[in-house]
Amino acid sequence: MFSSMQGLVKVNNYHFFAGWSYGYQTNLQKLTKPTTSLDFDAYVYKYMFNHDQSYSCIYESTINANTMSGRVTLSVQSKI
Amino acid sequence: MVDWSYEFSEFTATEKPDDKWRRKEPKFITTDPTNPQVFYLSGRYQGKASVMQFTKKQGNMQWWTSFNQLTYIQSIIEVPGNSIFYGCGDYDVNDAFGTAITTTAYTAGIFKMDNDGSVKWMMTISGTNPVSSAANQDRCFGVTVDNANTGTLTALLQVKMKEVRSSTYNPGNYYDTVLM
């Protein structure tokens, strides 16, 4: 999946994110595109954090907060 | 009637055509909720991610901030009623012209600025490509205010870093989307 520039907005409790991909697969749908002749489609997903799992549609996993924090480096002012 | 215009000319006439200093990519024009006299132009100038403030009436540049650890600005957002704003993008680590955009290495970056041009903080986000021979490519394409009262943000990341991707889906040398 590729994300689009300025590709995230929040409306009430929902995050909408957009981008483009060649084909996609969710728990409910699948669209296969040839990798030899790329044919891209745009997408928009509507997502809510901490949603009821019975509404799960996309393949997702929760990232451990410490794991994510470990990939983040706060830059010192002199290097920005 | 054109009130004013502004040209971003070449840095110098003698540098090579592929020199990074010539690289400029204006991307966003945004306003200031607390100052209707100015606007911001953000994007890339002289090879680096940049944010500039101009007056609306005269087109005068008030300040220009460029980032050493950011090459592209992919998103910038205002905070209603506030002088601060947030942005994110990515840093072409090697800044290697001639390297295809699909194979060069990137780290993601998120920053907070005030309308006086000062950068309050900046964070970089990076990891390791699961395919060791391929470039590390972690980028940021969106940022939004999750809760203005608590100052929390949500970022849209496009990553290959193996450290945060679930092994359930057998991550490879392709991008996954992360909301952080």
The pLDDT of residue A20 is: 95
A39-48, B15-24, B43-52: the lowest-pLDDT one: B15-24
- Taking residues B28-48, report their average pLDDT: 94
Residue B179 has pLDDT above 70, yes or no: yes
Percent of chain A with pLDDT over 70: 100
Percent of chain B with pLDDT over 70: 91
Answer yes or no: do B164 and A67 touch at CB < 8 A.
yes
Task: List, as ranges, residues 34-53 from A with C-beta within 8 Å of B.
Answer: 47, 49
Q: Which residues of chain A lie closer than 8 angstroms to B141, CB-CB?
A: 3-8, 19
Q: Does B132 touch chain A (CB under 8 A)?
A: no
From B114, B51, B107, B39, select the one nearest B83 (Cα to Cα). B114
Candidates A1, A2, A17; nearest CB to B142? A17
The pLDDT of residue B31 is: 95
Residue B14 has pLDDT above 80, yes or no: no
| B interface test, pick of A58, A63, A77, A80 with most B CB neighbours within 10 Å | A80
CA contacts within 13 A on the Cβ side of B155: 25
Q: What is the side-by-side strand order in the sheet with A14-21?
A: A2-11, A14-21, A41-47
- Highest mean pLDDT among A51-60, B88-97, B100-109, B130-139 belongs to B130-139
From B48, B51, B60, B59, select the one nearest B24 (Cα to Cα). B48
Q: Which residues of chain A lie closer than 8 angstroms to B126, CB-CB?
A: 71, 73
Each residue of A27-61: pLDDT tens digit?
889 999 988 888 899 999 999 998 887 777 888 88
What's chain B's average pLDDT?
90
Report the chain A residue with the minimal C-alpha distance to residue B124. A73
From A24, A25, A7, select the one nearest A16 (Cα to Cα). A7
| β partners of residue B87 | B76, B111
Answer yes or no: do A8 and B166 touch at CB < 8 A.
no
Q: What is the 3-state secondary structure (H, E, C) of A12-32?
A: CCEEEEEEEECCEECCCCEEC
What's chain A's average pLDDT?
90
Sign of the torsion angle spanned by Cα atoms B159, B162, B165, B170: positive
Answer yes or no: do B127 and A63 touch at CB < 8 A.
no
pLDDT higher at B115 or B47: B115
Percent of chain A with pLDDT over 90: 56
Each residue of B54-95: pLDDT tens digit?
999 999 999 999 999 999 999 999 998 999 999 999 998 877
Q: Does A80 touch chain B (CB under 8 A)?
A: yes
**Rounded CA separation A6/B52 (Å):** 18
Backbone angles phi, psi at A33, to 5 degrees: -120, 150
Task: Please state the domain extents for chain B.
Answer: 20-179
Residue B17 has pLDDT above 90, yes or no: no
**Rounded CA separation B138/B173 (Å):** 11
**Rounded CA separation B29/A65 (Å):** 34
CA distance B1 to chain A (A): 31
| β partners of residue B43 | B26, B50
Answer yes or no: do A75 and B121 touch at CB < 8 A.
yes
A31-40, B33-42, B108-117: the lowest-pLDDT one: A31-40
- Taking residues B36-41, report their average pLDDT: 97
pLDDT higher at B22 or B159: B159
Answer yes or no: do B141 and A6 touch at CB < 8 A.
yes
Q: Please tell me whether the interface predicted TM-score (ipTM) of this complex is above 0.95.
A: no
Q: In sequence order, which residues have a C-beta less than 8 Å from that of residue B102 and are 6 or more positions away? A: none
**Rounded CA separation B127/B178 (Å):** 13
For B101, the token pair is 């955009």
Q: In sequence order, which residues have a C-beta less than 8 Å from that of residue A79 and are 6 or more positions away? A: B68, B69
**Rounded CA separation B156/B146 (Å):** 12
For A37, the token pair is 């002749």
| A interface test, pick of B126, B156, B162, B168 with most A CB neighbours within 10 Å | B156
